[in-house]
Amino acid sequence: MAVGMSTRATQAKAAVDIVTAFFGRIQALASDPEALDFTFGNPHETALPGLSAAIRTYAEPRSVDWFAYKTSEPEAQRVVAAGLAAELGLPFEPEDIAMTQGAFGAISLALALLTDAGDEVIVPVPGWFCYEPMLHAADLVPVRAELDAETFDLDVDAIARAITPRTRIVIVNSPANPTGRVYPASSWEALADVLERASREHGRRIWLLSDEPYRRIRFDGIAFTSPAAVYPWTLIDYSYGKVLLAPGQRLGYLALSPLIPVDERDELRAGLMPLGLAIGWGFPDAVMQYAVPQLETLSIDLEELTRKRDRLYAALTDAGIAVTRPEGTFYLWGRAPGGDATRFCDALAQRGVYVMPGTLFSQPHHFRISLTATMDMIDQALPRLVEVAADLS
Amino acid sequence: MAVGMSTRATQAKAAVDIVTAFFGRIQALASDPEALDFTFGNPHETALPGLSAAIRTYAEPRSVDWFAYKTSEPEAQRVVAAGLAAELGLPFEPEDIAMTQGAFGAISLALALLTDAGDEVIVPVPGWFCYEPMLHAADLVPVRAELDAETFDLDVDAIARAITPRTRIVIVNSPANPTGRVYPASSWEALADVLERASREHGRRIWLLSDEPYRRIRFDGIAFTSPAAVYPWTLIDYSYGKVLLAPGQRLGYLALSPLIPVDERDELRAGLMPLGLAIGWGFPDAVMQYAVPQLETLSIDLEELTRKRDRLYAALTDAGIAVTRPEGTFYLWGRAPGGDATRFCDALAQRGVYVMPGTLFSQPHHFRISLTATMDMIDQALPRLVEVAADLS
């Protein structure tokens, strides 16, 4: 008798297995207080006092319905729309915003709104390792489009080649995990041309999902253009989990580009609440929604993050390691000395330094270092990184 | 060009439309301070101080990773498993528990674990109006099985007739929304026989999803048996949102029956984390997970709830309204005087009393009253309920 997990669950689980296995190994670190953990984008310093203060403040009920069912709270929508309008120069309205449990929730909502079982969704490689499990769970077919192998720029031709009549969504991610690249407006213009042509050719609109959780984590004042300003059929997902470095408190949103033609935008707007309910009540906790006005302007210290990037980038480059200079995100992406990511990461782990092998991003020759580590951790780890690189080169 | 929402999104939205329309009408009430709102199971009194205190306590970081990514927190799993073991007399282990964003999240996780697109899921009628939208969003086919039309007992024969080779899950709900019924162990035994036979006949295991958010809200000490104790292939979903009367702070779990054969249980256990991630990071906020030990024993005042049930039940019965005496939940389910739920609810609304028409449960002759209203609201509403009933009878 057929008993256990479904086919789509089995596929989703298989897509997570490489992460789960790595995660399990990292959790074992918890028992070693000397371990230097540069793996996931998790905090290594005490949380922002402003976050704790906001949660404490809004834990106190101000009305009888304080903890009643909350869909997207109007004040949260208003603050997000105003913030996005100022940031992206586009006339977002509160009704364009669905409050979600982080970017994961926003991506789930976008998939639920736009896709049917069997649709294809194009994902960047290297790219976030959770896109594919989420697509499998939603009965979708991930189709990989490689970024430029040297620069990790968006490769619009690769996306064009990946498009088929079943393509429904193209996911883009800038600032990009794991490469730290921020794509220029010209990339979006080229991509918009391709998507517009392909949509007309296949008689079905291809949507863009712009995954922007790192949007506010950029270095050196580099300009940012959202594809939502270039290609009208764009949805933006965002998480406060990065800029607050608090992914355990789920808060984010899905935003409809105000350039979406009005009839189509109205249809999607009307779908945001029902689909938010239908995917499993995907709205953030009441307290987190009340806190949005306070959290909207809160951020980790980007100057300190820049110093950490600069120190690691300079030291690794000096040691002869090929590193992509991050323009945004809190990751540093490099080519593993000796060419074998697993060997490099294992050798580092033996010296108590844990970095993420590129194998989690289907890139067995690369590694990722999280800049959420402290400067002290960086100081301790650098000599070992340099030593291992020398051994393996 | 095909542009807007997907087919499954359109189906899910259509299934929510009746709720959305009603919800919109109720939200308009917010501006009327005199309105007596007996519709949704939302709080009408200040939240439990213990809930606010717990949130405030755990808003304060005790480690650098306090707000890091959290899957199911081991301490929360341990407390839930111990609580369930004591409550249901079954040897739950912490690994059987997936922490979720309320019962919605737990149902989503169960669907993701067990079903493939096109599978059929049997739902009770009358039953919670969110099952069907959730099933559509997950590409599943809702199949309705009517409860007994008079007693609203489980009708095992109706479930047996609804089973086909595509049936993958049967959803049951006790204490039952909207009827307030609590089903006896004998119902589960009869259902288990049917499911076991049908599973063997079709060569595919039919799972039971026991939706138990009202499990701790029972009157007069009535006994409770979970079907997880009778039919091994049972998953339990639970929400703290009912017993805390705080559905805006998402906290719940999915529990695997310890009676599931060990190989199958191991497979599902291994799927809980990956699928929790893949459905959109369906884990509760860090603060809510830390609070589980404190929240586990917290509850609204069940004696006061009993008094409200007794007062409403007696007064409505005296007025000649046929009401099902609730054994659990915070709902009172009755037959609309005159036989037309919409007419009855509209007439009440004209007198400032808002109750939920049975149309939301596909029962156009019935209505539901939420006992989460205050005794003062009940005192004010009762004469108008009696008056309208007399007018329409």
**Looking at chain B, which residue has its C-alpha nearest residue A46?**
B64
Alpha-helix residue ranges (DSSP H) falling in A217-324: 262-278, 286-290, 292-295, 302-318
Whole-number mean pLDDT of chain B? 96
Q: B249 to chain A: nearest residue by CA? A: A285
**What residues in B contact A33, CB-CB < 8 Å?**
none
Distances (CA, A) of A177 to A16, A99, A129, A134, A329: 17, 23, 9, 17, 7
Q: Which residues fall within 8 angstroms of residue A221, CB to CB, at 6 or more apart?
A: none
Sign of CA dihedral A53, A54, A56, A60: positive
- Of the candidates B45, B69, B280, the beta carbon closest to that of A101 is on B280
Interface check B65 vs A, CB under 8 A: yes
Residue with tokens 């046929």: B322
Maximum Cα interatomic distance, chain A, rounded to a whole number of Å:
65
pLDDT digits (tens, 9 = 90+) for A185-198: 999 999 999 999 99
Superfamily of domain A7-47+299-392: Aspartate Aminotransferase, domain 1 (3.90.1150.10)
Residue B29, pLDDT > 90, answer: no
Please identify which residue in the block is written with the tokens 């990989």: A144
**Under CATH, what is the fold of the domain B7-48+300-392?**
Aspartate Aminotransferase, domain 1 (3.90.1150)
The pLDDT tens digits of the residues spanning A85-126 come to: 999 999 999 999 999 999 999 999 999 999 999 999 999 999
Whole-angstrom CA distances from A26 to A117, A319, A331, A370, B304 are: 34, 26, 17, 14, 49
Asked if pLDDT for residue A3 goes beyond 90, the answer is: no
* Residue-range domain boundaries for chain A: 7-47+299-392, 50-295
Residue B248 token pair: 């805006």
Task: Tokens for A233, please give them.
Answer: 């059929």
Q: Does A9 touch chain B (CB under 8 A)?
A: yes
Residues A273, B112: C-beta atoms closer than 8 Å: no
- pLDDT, average across residues B338-349: 94
- Say if residue A18 is exposed, middle or buried (CB neighbours under 10 Å; 0-12, 13-18, 19+): middle
Q: Is A1 on the interface with B (CB under 8 A)?
A: yes
ipTM over 0.95: yes
Calculate how close chain B gets to A267, using CA atoms only, in Å: 7
DSSP A168-203: EEEEEESSPTTT-----HHHHHHHHHHHHHHHHHHT
What predicted TM-score, i.e. pTM, was given to this entire model? 0.97
In words, the CATH class of domain A50-295 is alpha beta
Decide yes or no: CATH 3.40.640.10 for domain B61-295.
yes
Residue numbers of B between 197 and 256 with CB closer than 8 Å to A: 199-200, 203-205, 233, 244-250
- Of how many residues is chain A composed? 393
Peptide bond between residue B232 and the one before it cis (omega within 30 degrees of 0): no
**Residue B262: closest CA among chain A residues belongs to which residue?**
A4
- Tell me which residue in A137, A246, A287 faces B112 most closely, judged by beta carbons: A137
CB contact (8 A) between residue B60 and residue A59: no
Q: What are the φ and ψ backbone dihedral angles of B25, each rounded to 5 degrees?
A: -65, -40
* Residue among B77, B66, B72 nearest A248 (CA): B66
B15 touches A at CB < 8 Å = yes
Query: What is the percentage of chain A residues whose pLDDT exceeds 90?
Result: 94
Task: Measure CA of the first residue to CA of the last residue in chain B; give whole Å.
Answer: 54
Longest dimension (CA), chain B: 65
pLDDT, one tens digit per residue, over A321-360 is: 999 999 999 999 999 999 999 999 999 999 999 999 999 9
pLDDT higher than threshold 80 for residue A30? no
For residue A213, whether the previous peptide bond is cis, meaning omega lies within 30 degrees of 0, is no
Round to whole Å and give the CA distance between B178 and A39.
48
Here the tokens at position A270 are 């009307």
**Which residues of chain A lie closer than 8 angstroms to B137, CB-CB?**
112, 275, 278-279
* B393 contacts chain A (CB < 8 A): no
Mutation for A interface: B62, B128, B275, most A CBs within 10 A? B275
In this complex, the residue of B8, B20, B248 whose CB is nearest that of residue A68 is B248
Compute chain B's Rg from CA coordinates. Answer: 21
Average pLDDT over residues A232-259: 98
* A267 Cβ under 8 Å from any chain B Cβ: yes
Cis geometry, peptide bond prior to residue A175 (ω within 30 degrees of 0): yes
Q: What tokens does B321 get?
A: 């309204």
**What are the chain A neighbours of B3 within 8 Å (beta carbons)?**
204-205, 233, 264
CA–CA separation, A250 and A237 (whole Å) = 13
Residues A239 and A46: their CA atoms lie apart, in Å, by 20
Q: What is the pLDDT of residues A66-82, one digit of tens each?
A: 999 999 999 999 999 99
Which residues on B lie below 8 Å from A43 (Cβ)?
64-68
- pLDDT tens digits, B175-227: 999 999 999 999 999 999 999 999 999 999 999 999 999 999 999 999 999 99
